[in-house]
Amino acid sequence: MRKFFVLEFILFLIGLFSLIYKEYFLTLFLLYLVGNALITIIYKLDLCQVILSIFMFPYFPLIQFFILKEQTPHYVPLDFEYKPIETINPSYKTIDLAPFHVMLKYGDKGQKKEAIRLILELTSKEEIDFNEGLKMIYTTISKENDQDVILYATEALNYLEKILLRKLYESKDKNSVDYARYSYYYANSPFLEKEQKIELLNSTKKFLEDFIKKYPYNIDALTLLIKILEDLEGHEEIEKLLELKLAKIKSRELFEIAILYYLKHRKHSKVKELLTEFHSYKYTFKNESLKILLEG
pLDDT digits (tens, 9 = 90+) for 212-237: 999 999 999 999 999 999 999 999 99
| Three-state DSSP state, 286 | coil
How far apart are the C-alpha atoms of 264 and 267, rounded to whole Å? Answer: 8
**Cβ–Cβ < 8 Å for 177, 220:** yes
The Cα-based distances of 164 to 169, 170, 176 in angstroms read: 9, 10, 16
Is the pTM higher than 0.75? no
CB atoms within 10 A of CB 153: 27
Reported as a single tens digit per residue, the pLDDT across 58-111 is 665 656 555 555 444 444 444 444 444 333 334 444 467 888 999 999 999 999
Average pLDDT over residues 183-194: 93
**Cβ–Cβ < 8 Å for 53, 33:** yes
Contacts 24+ apart (CB under 8 A), 88-95: 89/127, 90/127, 91/127, 92/122, 92/126, 92/127, 92/128, 92/129, 92/132, 93/288, 95/122, 95/127, 95/128
CB atoms within 10 A of CB 51: 12
